[in-house]
Amino acid sequence: MEFDLAFIWAGLIAFAVLTYVILDGFDLGVGILFPLAGSETDRDTAMNSVAPVWDGNETWLVLGGGGLFAVFPLAYAVVMPALYMPITLMLLGLVFRGVAFEFRWKTRKWKPVWDVAFVGGSVLAALCQGIALGALVQGIEVADRAYAGGWWDWLTPFSALTGVAVVTGYALLGATWLVMKTEGSLQHRMRRTAWPLGLATLGFMGLVSLATPFLEPVYFARWFNLPGSLFSLVMPGLVLAAAWALFTGLSEGREARPFLAALSLFVLGFVGIGISFYPMMVPPEMTIWQAAAPRSSLAFALVGALILVPIILAYTGYAYWVFRGKVRPGDGYH
Amino acid sequence: MGPSGFIAVLAGWVTTEVGRQPFTVHGLLRTGDSLAPVSAPAVGASLMAFIVVYFFVFGAGTYYILRLMGQRPGAGPHTVDGPTRTAGITPAPQLGREHATPGE
C-alpha cells in the first residue's frame, strides 16, 4: 500500500460513492416501495419523509462522478463508454422521479401519471446502478487506454443479478427508513415488508459474494489466499451480525435499529467490493495509480475537496437534524 | 418578454459551442480527436430518448408554470395559519378538495 495523493483520492471517491449509495439508496427505496405504501395519505407521507433530503443525497453522485472525471480521467474515459447505456437509462430514471416530487402536487387528473413516474424512475435508476456495478465488477475490456468492448457488454447474467440485488437492497433501506420516520399504519406496513426484503437482500448478497471470486482469477486469489482469506472469515460474520440486528430490531419494534442495520449491510457489501478490487480501479487491470491524473492536478483538486467536503458534510448533517423525528400526515408547505 | 431569458441563455451557449470549433480544448484537442468509443446506435438511441423525455417533462413543466402564472396573486385556496415548516417539504396540492373528482 502506498499512501500518496492518488490513494487519498481513491479513498475520497470511494467515500463519495458509498455515501451516495446509502443516502440515495433509501430515498430510491421509498420510490420503489411507493405502490406498497397503502392509502394516498400514507403515500404522500412516504414521499414527504424524503422530500427535504433526496436531492441533497444526489450531491454525492455528482461528487463521485465529477471527482472521477477530474482526478482519475483514464478510469472515467474507460468506464463511461463501457457503461453508456445503463448510466444514460439511470439518468432518465432520475429525471422522472425528480420531477415527480414537484409535479405530483400540481395536478389531480395527472397525479397517477407522476406516481408511475416516481415508481418507474426509482426502479429504473436502482436497477441501472446495480447493473453498472455488476458490469464493473465483471471487468471492462481495455485496449490502448480506451474502452474496447461493444455497447451491450454490460448486460450479462451476473450484472442482471447485481441489478435486481440493488433494487431489493434499496427497497430494504427504504422500508427501514419509513419504519424510523413514520407512525401508524404506514410504519406497521413497512415493518412487515422489511422482513422479506431483508431475507431477499441477504440471499442476493450471498449469491453475488459466491459468484464474484469466479469472475476473475485475481478475485479468487484475494479471497482464498492469505492474508485476504482472513476477510473470508470476518466479512460473513459481520454480515450475520448486521442481519441479526436487523431482524431483532424489527421483531422488537425498534425505531432506528433496522435502518442502521440495513445501512451496515450496504457498508459491508461496499467494503467487500473494495477488498476484491484493491489496488485496481477498473478491473481486471487498471490500477488506481495508472488511472490517476498528474500529481499537480491531484494536489490542486484536493485543496478544493478538503474545504468543500467538510462543508457538505456539515450542512447535510444539519439538514437531517432540522428534519429529525417523525413525519406526520399532511406535513407540507403552503 | 417571457421567453427572452431562455433565448438569451441558449443563444450564448450556442455561440460558445459553435465558436470554439474545430476544437474541444482550444489549440490542444480537436473535436474529432476527443470522441468517446461509443457506437453510433448507442449515441442515436440515447439522443432520441433524451428528446422524447425532455419534450414530455418540459411540456408538463411549461403547462404547470403557465397555469400558475394565469392565477391571480392571493387567489389560492390556502391561508397561512401559524408557523410552517417550509424548506424542502413538497408543496401542498395547489388544487383544493373542491376540484377533486367525485369518489376521491
Q: What backbone phi and psi angles, to 5 degrees, belong to A287?
A: -90, 170
Place of cell 405504501: A37
> What pLDDT does residue B92 have?
62
Q: Which three cell numbers stand for residue B72?
A: 391571480
Q: Tell if the CB–CB gap between B78 and A88 is shorter than 8 Å.
A: no
Q: Tell if the CB–CB gap between B91 and A146 is shorter than 8 Å.
A: no
* Chain segment B81-97, per-residue pLDDT in tens: 544 555 556 666 666 55
Residue B102 binned pLDDT confidence (cut-offs 50, 70, 90): low
With b for 16 or more beta-carbon neighbours within 10 A and e for fewer, the A169-187 pattern comes to bbbbbbbbbbbbbbeeebb
The strand pairing partners of A333, in sequence order, are B91
Looking at the predicted structure, is the pLDDT value of residue B80 above 60?
Answer: no
Q: How close B21 comes to chain A (CA, Å)?
A: 22
Closest residue in B to A103 (Cα) is B61
User: Which residue out of B34, B78, B89, B99 would a mutagenesis test of the A interface target, given it has the greatest number of A Cβ atoms within 10 Å?
Assistant: B89
Q: What backbone phi and psi angles, to 5 degrees, belong to A16?
A: -65, -45
> What pLDDT does residue B104 have?
44
Q: Tell if the CB–CB gap between A101 and B90 is shorter than 8 Å.
A: yes
Q: Interior CA angle at B59 toward B55 and B61, to 5°?
A: 125
Q: Tell if the CB–CB gap between B60 and A103 is shorter than 8 Å.
A: yes
> What pLDDT does residue A133 have?
95
> What pLDDT does residue A333 have?
43
Q: What gap in Å lies between CA A39 and CA A171, rounded to an integer?
A: 19
> What pLDDT does residue A1 have?
57
> What pLDDT does residue B3 have?
80
Place of cell 407540507: A332
Mean pLDDT, residues B28-54:
92
Q: Tell if the CB–CB gap between B80 and A334 is shorter than 8 Å.
A: yes
> What pLDDT does residue A334 have?
29
For chain B, the distance separating the N- and C-terminal CA atoms, rounded to the nearest angstrom, is 40
Question: Which residue numbers in chain A have pLDDT < 70?
Answer: 1, 332-334
